[in-house]
Amino acid sequence: MATPAIDILRAKAFELPMSERAELAHDLLASLDGPADSDVSEAWEAEILRRLDQLDDGTAKLIDRAELSRRMRRRMVST
């Protein structure tokens, strides 16, 4: 059961433009997570840079959307 304060906040949030609602939703969800793990953040940053380098130097193996969908369906069936 929502409190009056939550009802007011929800009503105000729904008055916001979509982009601002998305930003608010992101911030609220992020607030539920614990503090960021710097090691994980650094590892993701390194992985992103590695993949960008592969795109830039032409060594990345790219697939089209149809192939991605096929692979995802196959993985969902096998789990």
Residues 13-54: tens digit of each pLDDT: 999 999 999 999 999 998 998 887 889 989 999 999 999 999
pLDDT band at 66 (very low <50, low <70, confident <90, very high): very high
**What predicted TM-score, i.e. pTM, was given to this entire model?**
0.48
pLDDT band at 72 (very low <50, low <70, confident <90, very high): very high
Domain that holds residue 56: 37-79
Contacts of 21 (CB under 8 A, 6+ apart): 13, 14
Please indicate, yes or no, whether residues 49 and 63 belong to a single structural domain of this protein.
Answer: yes
Query: 1, 9 in Cβ contact below 8 A?
Result: no
Please indicate, yes or no, whether residues 13 and 44 belong to a single structural domain of this protein.
Answer: no
Number of domains in the chain: 2
d(CA 53, CA 29): 31
Please indicate, yes or no, whether residues 42 and 79 belong to a single structural domain of this protein.
Answer: yes
Count of other CB atoms within 10 angstroms of residue 50: 10
Please indicate, yes or no, whether residues 55 and 70 belong to a single structural domain of this protein.
Answer: yes
Please indicate, yes or no, whether residues 30 and 9 belong to a single structural domain of this protein.
Answer: yes
Integer CA distances (angstroms), 4 to 7, 8, 31, in order: 5, 6, 22
Residues 40-49: tens digit of each pLDDT: 989 999 999 9
Please indicate, yes or no, whether residues 79 and 41 belong to a single structural domain of this protein.
Answer: yes
